[in-house]
């Protein structure tokens, strides 16, 4: 289910960016699988004390993914920062069958910031919280080539989307490192 949801979202991103879906999917999947993706099981302890409910237990961060897909947890705690800098609880009022989808850093880099990586954190809840994010990543040595597709558009006299980074057959690892890589990902941990 998570793989199918991820594939549908990635195809929607490609369509929004007027890019062939293969530009994204070819660097992420082998056959029908996403070999660089992982399903992570995260357990966060309960607050233990009434006064610690709502205190940050996992610092604000973005994911090093194209997208993150997660089933909504039945326990509160996940917060996402909106465009005004306020923290919202996206799972509030949701059902455990609902999926939460966040863009990751790779989507932000590939779209020149058009899609923003979802800044999120976890705060303490009265009971233990379990979440299962499906982190859709490419293998570090996977290659992406947007230049070939953009050149085809130019040759056909089509308008070239300005929101897509132009790279020629580079590894995902190279593209991400060129944009700040781990320094950017862990900036919030280093400043808190």
pLDDT tens for 35-72 read: 889 999 988 877 666 667 778 888 999 998 999 999 98
Residue 19 CA to its chain's centroid (Å): 18
* Residue 63: count of CB within 10 angstroms of its CB: 23
Q: Where are the beta strands (DSSP E) in 112-169?
A: 120-123, 129-131, 133-136, 143-144
pLDDT band at 187 (very low <50, low <70, confident <90, very high): very low
CB 53 within 8 A of CB 125: yes
pLDDT cut 90: percent of the chain above it: 30
pLDDT > 90? residue 82: yes
Q: Supply the mean pLDDT for the chain.
A: 84
Strand-pair category, 78-81 with 120-123 = antiparallel
Distance CA 74, CA 96 (A): 6
Closest CA to 57 of 113, 110, 129, 136: 129
User: What is the tens place of the pLDDT at every residue in 85-102?
Assistant: 999 999 988 888 899 999
Q: Per the structure block, which two tokens stand in for 142?
A: 């996977």
CB 136 within 8 A of CB 37: yes
| Cα separation values, 181 from 47, 128, 149, 175, 176, Å | 33, 32, 25, 9, 5
Residues across the chain: 192
Strand-pair category, 170-171 with 143-144 = antiparallel
The pLDDT assigned to 167 comes to 86
pLDDT band at 174 (very low <50, low <70, confident <90, very high): confident
Give the predicted TM-score (pTM) of the model: 0.82
pLDDT > 80? residue 25: yes
The helix or strand, by DSSP H or E, that contains position 154, with its residue range, turns out to be: helix 147-155
The pLDDT assigned to 48 comes to 65
């Amino acid at each position: 289910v998570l793989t199918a949801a991820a594939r549908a979202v990635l195809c929607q991103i490609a369509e929004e960016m007027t890019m062939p879906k293969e530009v994204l999917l070819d660097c992420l999947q082998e056959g029908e699988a996403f070999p660089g993706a992982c399903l992570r099981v995260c357990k966060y302890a309960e607050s233990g004390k009434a006064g610690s409910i709502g205190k940050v237990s996992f610092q604000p961060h973005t994911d090093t993914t194209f997208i993150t897909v997660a089933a909504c947890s039945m326990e509160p705690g996940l917060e996402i920062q909106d465009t005004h800098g306020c923290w919202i609880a996206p799972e509030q009022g949701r059902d455990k069958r609902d999926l939460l989808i966040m863009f990751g850093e790779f989507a932000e880099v590939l779209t020149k910031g058009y899609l923003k990586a979802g800044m999120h954190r976890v705060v303490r809840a009265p009971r233990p919280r379990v979440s299962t994010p499906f982190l859709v990543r490419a293998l570090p040595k996977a290659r992406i080539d947007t230049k070939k597709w953009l050149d085809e558009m130019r040759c056909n006299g089509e308008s070239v989307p300005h929101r897509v980074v132009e790279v020629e057959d580079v590894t995902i690892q190279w593209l991400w490192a060129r944009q700040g890589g781990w320094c950017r990902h862990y900036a919030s941990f280093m400043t808190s």
